[in-house]
Amino acid sequence: MILKKLKSNSSVSLILVPLVTTAFWIKSLQHPFAYDYFPGEEQNILYNFIYRLVEGNPLIQVISGMVMVVLLAYVMQLVNDRYMFIRIKSKLPALLFAVIVGGFVPMHTLHPVYFGAMFMLLTVYRLFAMYETKKAYASAFDIGFLLGIGALFYLNLVVLLPAFIVGVAMLGRETGWREFLTLLLGFLLPFIFVTAYAVLSDRLMEIYGILQQNIFTPVNHFRSNIPLQVYLVTLILFTITGSIGMFGQYDSKKISSRKYFTVFFWIFIFSLVGFTLIPVTSQEMLVITAIPVTYLIANLFVFMKSRFWSELLFILLLLIVVSMQFSFDIFQ
């Protein structure tokens, strides 16, 4: 009965988002901590200003991170409500995102990836608006520009650029080279602004060094993190189950829904590529990966015919996320 209530289109589910987020972040609120940044990570071009405002106050950093998760959940719901790729009206995506990110306990504080994820979602919103639009130059520019701004908060967002190029090719109507060129120009423009600022302020080498650190510094938070490894295996199993369910529904879905979910598939794939190709990419990228995974699992729960199995799987996910709140203390 829990899932049946939560996957309805009632606004109560939206009210639950900040409550559920707070419940899963309660230990971090009681014992606030700052993220263990590698050198240069907190100096990302646009994030550095925000970091300086909260530096030295772990509680504010935890609260800020929690607020960002709630906002991301609401924007995710907005994207689904606007484009209806999950064809049954449901407020489950927002709540499910809060639950999934609740299991990433080391990320229960402020990090630039939350701002990068927000701009990525805005980019998705503009991308989906291109569907069957002729000469969508304005949308193509916005897609590149928003993703470029997001990359100035969280540089590894650059790895998703090919996914959005594929998305433009899929969703645009009579797409030509001008749309792709406009997208690339939009993406490069924020970096051109930063370069101009760096030259005028005589900080070119400093900013170049920060960008280098945010690409080539080797980081691995997974190696000795057994609870996170177990949780990731769980999410992978849910993702596989959701993918099987998606294939079963593929022929019955509208063409637009198929294309939207295919875009999320490419975002998911290229976020995984980031783990492989970029040495600095680690647990923070899971916040990005969680976005397409959330939509896929939400679609699974909404359309699952067996009430027993859907309730059981949802309760199992909740129990695993709850256990994550204590497992880190045990293993540490």
pLDDT at 332: 55
pLDDT at 121: 97
pLDDT at 6: 76
DSSP code, position 159? G
Higher pLDDT, 89 or 152: 152
Confidence tier at 35 by pLDDT (50, 70, 90): very high
Task: Find residue 173's DSSP bridge partners.
Answer: 134
Phi, psi (degrees; rounded to nearest 5) at 173? -100, 125
The mean-pLDDT minimum among 35-44, 241-250, 254-263 falls in 241-250
Segment 274-279 mean pLDDT: 84
In whole angstroms, give the CA distance from residue 114 to residue 98. 13
The mean-pLDDT minimum among 1-15, 45-59, 73-87, 140-154 falls in 1-15
- Look at residue 251 and tell me whether its pLDDT is greater than 90: no
Cα-trace Rg, the chain: 20
Percent of the chain predicted with pLDDT > 90: 59
DSSP 59-102: HHHHHHHHHHHHHHHHHHHHHHHHH-SS-S--SHHHHHHHHHHH
pLDDT at 330: 63
- Look at residue 9 and tell me whether its pLDDT is greater than 80: no
- Look at residue 261 and tell me whether its pLDDT is greater than 60: yes
In whole angstroms, give the CA distance from residue 262 to residue 24. 31
Segment 43-70 mean pLDDT: 94
Q: Of the ranges 12-21, 81-90, 93-102, 267-276, which is most confident?
A: 93-102
Segment 16-31 mean pLDDT: 94
Higher pLDDT, 14 or 61: 61
DSSP 190-223: HHHHHHHHHHHTT-HHHHHHHHHHHHH----SST
pLDDT at 279: 84
Q: Of the ranges 20-34, 123-137, 217-231, 239-253, which is most confident?
A: 20-34
- Look at residue 331 and tell me whether its pLDDT is greater than 60: no
Mean of per-residue pLDDT scores for the chain: 89
pLDDT tens, 166-200? 999 888 777 778 889 999 999 999 999 999 999 99
Segment 64-74 mean pLDDT: 97
pLDDT at 328: 67
In whole angstroms, give the CA distance from residue 295 to residue 245. 13
| Helix locations, the chain, DSSP H | 2-6, 12-24, 26-30, 47-54, 58-83, 92-102, 112-128, 137-153, 161-171, 177-200, 204-216, 226-249, 255-277, 285-303, 307-331
C-alpha neighbours within 13 Å on the C-beta side of residue 329: 8
- Look at residue 329 and tell me whether its pLDDT is greater than 70: no
User: What are the b/e assignments for 42-78, b being 16+ CB within 10 Å?
Assistant: bbbbbbbebbeebeeebbbbbbbbbebbbbbbbbbbe
pLDDT tens, 306-327? 888 888 999 999 999 999 988 7
DSSP code, position 37? P
Higher pLDDT, 290 or 2: 290
Task: Evaluate whether 168 touches 130 at the Cβ level (below 8 Å).
Answer: yes
The mean-pLDDT minimum among 29-43, 66-80, 117-131 falls in 29-43
Count how many residues are written for the chain: 332
Task: Evaluate whether 21 touches 66 at the Cβ level (below 8 Å).
Answer: yes
pLDDT tens, 70-105? 999 999 999 999 998 888 888 899 999 999 999 999
